[in-house]
Chain A
Amino acid sequence: DGGITQSPKYLFRKEGQNVTLSCEQNLNHDAMYWYRQDPGQGLRLIYYSQIVNDFQKGDIAEGYSVSREKKESFPLTVTSAQKNPTAFYLCASSEGQVTNQPQHFGDGTRLSIL
C-alpha cells in the first residue's frame, strides 16, 4: 500500500545536538510538508517543498533545516538553535502543486529533550 513512513516514532535529543527526522513517501507526490504539533495549537508549518531540489520556509522555520534531493524523501533536521524542540512532528504530502488536493500524513515522530 502507498503511504508515508516517518521514523523513528520516538526520538530523544540532548542539549546542543542536531537530530534528523526521516520522511519517505511512495505515493509519487510532488509536494511534501513538515508540521509541528503542540497541544492546543493545531499544526504549524515548518517547511514545504513543491519539487525536488526546492523548498520554502513555513511559519516557524527558525531552528530547522530540510533537504529534497529525491522526490520520495524529505528529511527534517532539528538543530541546536531550536530551543524548544519538544513536540510531535508530522510529515505530509500532496499531489502536484494544486491547492485543492488533500494532504496525506505519516504517523509522526515524537521528539523529546533529555
Chain B
Amino acid sequence: AQSVTQLDSQVPVFEEAPVELRCNYSSSVSVYLFWYVQYPNQGLQLLLKYLSGSTLVKGINGFEAEFNKSQTSFHLRKPSVHISDTAEYFCAVTEGGYQKVTFGTGTKLQVIP
C-alpha cells in the first residue's frame, strides 16, 4: 500500500531565504506525485505535479520539486520565500491504476519577516 511521509510538521524560515520541504513516499509500483498548498480556511490548490519525464518539475509561485526514484523522495524547494508563502503544504501520491490519492500529514511553512 502506498504511504506518504512529511517528517517536518513545521518549518520556520526568514523572508528571502531558501526553503526545502521534504516528502518521502512508499510504493512498489509506478507513482504520480503532487504538491498542494492550503491557505487558512481554504481548500487545497495544486502547486505542481510529476507524472513522467524530467525529474525536475516547476510549479506556480516559483516552487519546484525533484523526483528521486532511488530515494523515493519528492522534495519541494523555493530559492527565496515571501511572506505570502506562509501556508500549509501537502505532498500526495497516487499509484498507477488506482484512483485513490494518499496525502501526507502536511508541513506548515512559516515565513518570518
Q: Report A's interface with B, CB cutoff 8 A.
A: 4, 6, 31, 33, 35, 40-43, 45, 48, 50, 58, 90, 92, 97, 99-100, 102-108, 110
Shortest Cβ distance from residue A24 to the other chain B in the assembled complex, whole angstroms: 14
A sample of 19 cross-chain residue pairs with beta-carbon separation below 8 angstroms, ordered by A number, consists of A4-B43, A6-B43, A42-B90, A42-B104, A43-B90, A43-B103, A45-B100, A45-B101, A90-B43, A92-B44, A99-B94, A99-B95, A99-B97, A100-B32, A100-B51, A103-B44, A103-B46, A107-B42, A110-B41
Verify if B55 is at the interface (C-beta below 8 Å from A).
no
Complex contact A99–B46 (CB within 8 A): no
Q: B101 contacts which chain A residues (CB < 8 A)?
A: 33, 45, 103
Q: Shortest beta-carbon distance, B88 to chain A, in Å? A: 10
How far does the Cβ of B67 sit from chain A's closest Cβ, in whole Å?
A: 13
Query: Once the chains are docked, how many angstroms separate the CA of A112 from the CA of B104?
Result: 24
In the bound complex, how far is the Cα of B43 from the Cα of A48, in angstroms? Answer: 17
Give the residues in chain A near B36, CB-CB below 8 Å: 105
Among B32, B41, B49, B105, the residue within 8 A (CB) of A107 is B41
The CA-CA distance from A46 to B98 in the complex, in Å, is 16
User: In the assembled complex, which residues on chain B have CB atoms less than 8 Å from the CB atom of A42?
Assistant: 90, 103-106
User: Are B9 and A40 neighbours in the complex by a CB distance under 8 Å?
Assistant: yes
Q: Say if the beta carbon of B96 comes within 8 Å of chain A.
A: yes
CA distance A100 to B42 in the complex (A): 23
